A and B are shown apart, each in its own frame.
Chain A
């Protein structure tokens, strides 16, 4: 793969928009009142304690075994979501924090020929959970497929953590694949690459 080393760490504009900077409300009292909708109820005197329900709902047929939801779980990363609105020569990034963080640095760079036009990482002293940092990026994209990469590093809960995200700019053909696809004696596809 041909690598073009453009170390452009840059940001044209930085806007910290604190979507929700308020502390989370305190939990409700343990002895919460039971909503009238579920009456008649005998008592709910204890912390979330179960009480007798007088009127059961109608039975429905037992459901068959179903597949448990199973979201994919990848390697650990900082609790951050990075999204981008990509244009031919610029992108608007939204970096959303799901936890409080300090010492945050956002770097943006290009690979496969994408050249980011300026070179300064964004540093933010502290961010709150729910806060969004907006980053505007300008670049020169090649005629072929390229990628814009973003890393966000910071201290979350006392530990340095990182999130890496990339975005594909499909402005042209993908680069030629390496290796030759053949079929082995067992009829399987193999990607043959010659040792040097």
Chain B
């Protein structure tokens, strides 16, 4: 995929933005504690309202043109012109994962603020919008208005800064909106709507209002941390997330909920929501993991070809990097909650979890530069404090972000090599400790990592049990012939099916040709962007690409043999 550049937005400077002229939405410091109660067992008082200072409801308050009258009504005299005030907090219910029970724990439901979200004040009689604002970091909001007898709120699953929306992909991409109870206007009315889970003890028998706000909050948390904790904050492009009660692990029509799994499809995020099959809305690590794919692809650079993967797979190092980095970021964003958990099954009572902070370089983990588990462990330990014998480095979120952005310009593919080399270059004082951290993942002669010297994996000796996987990159010259060796029987994103070459541009077109009895494809990249590819159904491929003097290109030879056999492709490089 050719990475699109971000749409630029002004840096967010305030959690509260006034979006309606003549009105005064509350800003931070909301003095109205949310008193609505929420039952851990499902029932809840989600929409509590109270009033003090007398009701101003009544005369003149039912006009459909209340927006204009409100806008002009501040400080006006007479009747309702003294103004009404509505304030409160908006929140949603969150269901934790229980590590002991291995599943969602509805007895532990907690209420969390809906932050940075769109809150609209509507005339209850006409549904005309009077004003809108954005909830603060505690979910607080307030409105001053006039001339409306009774009002209600719409709280939408969207944030403005950064632009994030959670939509129902099975309902024409409608934005989820919680409608509050109707309250009579008054001098100081409180309204604290809560988006509830809809769980009533044995199933979701009521509207699952909390889910889209939980998804929004995870994405917002991730974005907000990068916006507020980096020295040069990212310019976040808009993001759409799709969640639906029908989103299920079945491939097909996404508008029907057949999304395959929770994923970033290089355009939008899709999150599972099918009750008693697989739901992910309350599993923040999964949402942040997928969000990171968006973030890395749009703000940093992702060269991963994607495809199925798991923690212990020996995969293409681009896949290991993309997936491991995303898992690490989920733990970084949600730190101190470093436990990745995933529930599924009837009543969400099955699941698994693991703590990212528990480092493991044992044989079953297949540690190395091709392992997403190794990647996530290294990245997280680069971020966190010096809290283990092998972890004496701490570059923080800003250091991680800086290296991710710097990785955009690596001529190599983005892998643990390019990232770590970038971190070492940026923090020369930490090089020894980084080397110690990397060395933790050295298991034996086949599995592990050598000291990372550069973005190209120079000097790497660990094969991951895959013959001919090192050197990581072969240096191809014009007029040379190479034999790229593979083992089939694995999916095309595994290390056994990929070989990498670096080619120095000389200003002339270069032709690459493959000859192979099995199907192989050729891909040439310049700074991570595809410049040529040849991907017929055969092993005989040819491509030619223009080159620039001084520019290094990368050729990926990818095999597709489905039989578990050893095979090879002859690769030539010519002018």
Contact = CB atoms under 8 A, between A and B. Distances in A.
Interface of A: 1-3, 5, 7, 20, 22, 24-28, 30, 32, 34-35, 37-38, 41, 44, 47-53, 56-57, 59-63, 65-79, 98-99, 107, 109, 111, 129-130, 147, 149, 151, 153, 156-162, 164-168, 177-179, 181-182, 184-185, 188-196
Contacts of B342: 75, 162
B238 interface: no
A52 B180 contact: no
A71 B306 contact: yes
Contacts of B170: 177
B523 interface: yes
A111 B276 CA distance: 7
A79 B308 contact: yes
B174 to A, nearest CB: 4
B424 interface: no
B544 A62 contact: yes
B480 A193 contact: no
A3 B487 contact: no
Contacts of A177: 170-171
A192 B278 contact: no
The 6 residue pairs across chains A and B that have the minimum distance between CB atoms: A158-B364, A50-B480, A27-B467, A3-B203, A56-B574, A74-B261
B535 interface: yes
A51 B129 CA distance: 74
B460 interface: no
B426 interface: no
A59 B478 CA distance: 13
Given A65-B530, A192-B154, A34 B276 contact: no
B110 interface: no
B47 interface: yes
A70 B280 contact: no
Given A79-B313, A158-B365, A166-B274, A195 B481 contact: no
Contacts of A160: 352
Nearest to B479: A52
Contacts of B127: 182
Contact of B344 (A48, A162, A178): A162
Given A24-B487, A193-B179, A57 B172 contact: no
B47 A1 contact: no
Nearest to B565: A25
Given A41-B481, A63-B543, A166-B249, A76 B311 contact: yes
Nearest to A179: B207
A75 B196 CA distance: 26
Nearest to B366: A157
Given A7-B346, A27-B487, A76 B323 contact: yes
B573 A189 contact: no
B440 interface: no
B173 A130 contact: no
A41 B481 CA distance: 8
Interface residues of B, number: 133
Contact of A158 (B261, B327, B363, B546): B363
A52 to B, nearest CB: 5
B511 interface: yes
Contacts of B312: 156-159, 161
B277 interface: yes
Nearest to B349: A7
Interface centre among A22, A73, A153, A158, by most chain B C-beta atoms within 10 angstroms, is A73
B118 to A, nearest CB: 9
B339 interface: no
Contacts of A164: 249, 277-278, 344-345
Contacts of A73: 263-264, 293, 304, 306-309, 319, 322-323
Interface stretch (B55-63, B392-400, B489-497): B489-497
Nearest to B351: A162
B532 A68 contact: no
A178 to B, nearest CB: 5
B566 to A, nearest CB: 5
Given A66-B532, A168-B258, A53 B480 contact: yes
B563 to A, nearest CB: 8
B506 to A, nearest CB: 14
A194 to B, nearest CB: 5
Interface in B311-336: 311-313, 319, 322-323, 327
11 contacts: A1-B205, A3-B203, A53-B573, A63-B531, A66-B531, A111-B275, A111-B277, A147-B274, A159-B365, A179-B168, A192-B154
Contacts of A63: 531-533, 543-545
Interface centre among B173, B265, B354, B480, by most chain A C-beta atoms within 10 angstroms, is B480
B480 A111 contact: no
Nearest to B204: A1
Interface centre among B172, B181, B347, B544, by most chain A C-beta atoms within 10 angstroms, is B544
Interface centre among B47, B172, B483, by most chain A C-beta atoms within 10 angstroms, is B483
Contact of A161 (B1, B352, B481, B533): B352
Contacts of B491: 98
A25 B310 contact: no
A6 to B, nearest CB: 9
B190 interface: no
Contact of B545 (A28, A62, A157): A62
A20 B481 contact: no
A27 B544 contact: no
Nearest to A82: B249
A50 B523 CA distance: 19
B105 interface: no
A67 B278 CA distance: 32
